[in-house]
Every structure is written in C-alpha cells, then in structure tokens.
C-alpha cells in the first residue's frame, strides 16, 4: 500500500484577470459600464482586465494505491481545498471557496473533489470501476447539492500474430447510475454548473486501440 498526503499553498501577486459582468451589474445597475437601450433594457456590460492584488489558495491532496490481492487494486485520489481568497477591483477580499461565485471573477469552487478506482486484471483482460465525487457548495439563494457518478470499463487485449503488436478492445459506460447534475438556479442559463457537472446521463461507448 502506498499513501501520500500533501499540503500546498500558492500565493499569486498581480494576477491579471477580467472583471465579472454580473458583479458589476450587482454593484451598480446604472453604472457607466452598464449599456442599455433607449427603453432601458440591458444590452451589454463593458468589462476590463485588471491586476488583482493577490489570490491566496491552499489545500490538501491525498493519494493511495492498495494491491490487496494478486489481481485487485484500489486507488483513491482526493483534493480538499482549505482556502481561496481573492481580491476584487474594489480592494475587498472575498473567500471564494465553497461558492458558485456568480458575482466575482472566480469560477465555482467546491471544497472537495475525489475519485476512487477499483481495478481487476488477469492476463489479457481488465476491468475498472470509478466512483467520482464533487462536494456541495453555496449559490446566491440556495445550495448546490453534491454530485456522485460511477463509470465502468472492461478491456480485452489481443496479440497480433504473436508479435509485439497489441489490439485493445474496450466497452464501457459513463454515469452508470444515470445521475442528473444538481440544479443550479441561473447557472449561466443552463440550470447546471458546466464547470463541475455533466448534463449527460448514462452513456455507453466502444473503443479500439492499436499499440505497436
């Protein structure tokens, strides 16, 4: 069994980023950069690049690999973020971690992401089962639920006339349990968070790979 645990911290200074249009609209609905038609309807928001004074990020990474039988292994990879502090153009500091971040330049930031893999192999055959997890986080008016999916794949390797060439045939399924993405109110008008979740339900696939 192998176990790894890393603590990391990254401090960015003078990070170049772009203003968030939703944040500018919320700050001043009639500001000079808010463009409206003659009837008052919103037609555009002018944004600009700026140097954020700093962005401080920290977290913990965990990784494990366990060969618990001759043909079986279990692997776990997980990241838990401890902080994600950003500085807005106004100079205010915001803790973006655990939020959808509709009103600032950060993307959605769930605290924890994890993946666990159970794998089996025997001579020219192998199978894997992957379990994926994204933790819940807050939106402006509600919470975005956690997201859990399961993927599976079975592979057969065929030798090409006894040479070193190998043909691998795989059949698999993504989102085996047909989980729907968590509902996000006005998630970029998609009703889900495209940066963290997938709208695709159960998907089957076939794959062939020639190795030489």
Q: Which residues of 13-46 are buried (b: 16+ CB within 10 A; e: fewer)?
A: eeeebebbbbbbbeeeeeeeebeeeeeeeeeebe
User: How many domains, the chain?
Assistant: 1
**Helix, strand, coil shares, percent, the chain, to 5:** 5, 55, 40
Alpha-carbon gap, residue 114 to 76, rounded angstroms: 7
Q: How far apart are CA 51 and CA 134, in angstroms?
A: 30
Which of 40-44, 84-88, 89-93, 193-197 is the least confident region? 89-93
Secondary structure (DSSP) of 69-131: ETTEEEEEEEEEEEEEEEE-TTS-EEE-TTB--TTSSS----SEEEEEEEEEEETTEEEEEEE
Quote the CA–CA distance of 13 and 64 in Å, as a whole number.
33
Q: Which domain holds residue 131?
A: 2-211
Claim: this prediction has a pTM higher than 0.85: no
In the predicted model, is pLDDT for residue 91 greater than 80?
no
pLDDT band per the 50, 70, 90 thresholds, residue 17: confident
pLDDT band for 8, please (50, 70, 90 cuts): very high
What CATH code is carried by the domain that includes residue 102? 2.40.170.20
Mean pLDDT value of segment 124-139? 96
pLDDT of 205 strictly over 90: yes
Better-scored residue on pLDDT, 19 or 121: 121
Tally of residues, the chain: 212
- Lowest average pLDDT, out of 66-70, 80-84, 87-91, 130-134, goes to 87-91
Q: What is the structure's pLDDT at 52? A: 64
Report residue 177's pLDDT band, with 50, 70 and 90 as the boundaries: very high
> Position of tokens 């038609």?
37
Q: What distance in Å separates the CA atoms of residue 78 and residue 98, rounded to the nearest whole number?
A: 16
Q: What pLDDT is attached to residue 38? A: 87
User: By three-state DSSP, how is residue 193 classified?
Assistant: coil
Q: Tell whether the model's pLDDT for residue 162 goes beyond 70.
A: no
């Amino acid at each position: 069994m192998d176990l790894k645990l890393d603590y990391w911290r990254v401090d960015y200074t003078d990070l170049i980023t772009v203003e968030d249009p939703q944040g500018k609209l919320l700050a001043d609905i009639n500001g000079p950069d808010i463009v409206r038609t003659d009837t008052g309807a919103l037609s555009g928001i002018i944004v600009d690049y700026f140097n954020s004074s700093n962005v401080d990020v920290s977290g913990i990474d965990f990784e494990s690999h366990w060969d618990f039988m001759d043909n079986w292994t279990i692997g776990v990879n997980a990241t838990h973020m401890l902080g994600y502090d950003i500085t807005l153009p106004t100079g205010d500091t915001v803790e973006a971690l655990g939020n959808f971040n509709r009103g600032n330049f950060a993307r959605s930031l769930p605290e924890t992401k994890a993946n666990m893999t159970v794998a089996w192999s025997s001579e020219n055959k192998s199978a894997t089962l992957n379990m994926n997890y994204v933790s819940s986080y807050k939106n402006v008016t509600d919470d975005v639920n956690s997201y859990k999916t399961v993927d599976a794949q079975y592979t057969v390797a065929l030798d090409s006339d006894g040479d070193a060439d190998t043909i691998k045939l795989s059949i698999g399924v993504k989102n085996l349990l047909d989980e729907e993405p968590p509902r996000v109110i006005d998630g970029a008008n998609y009703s889900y968070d495209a940066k963290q979740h997938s709208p695709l339900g159960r998907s089957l696939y076939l794959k062939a790979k020639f190795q030489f």
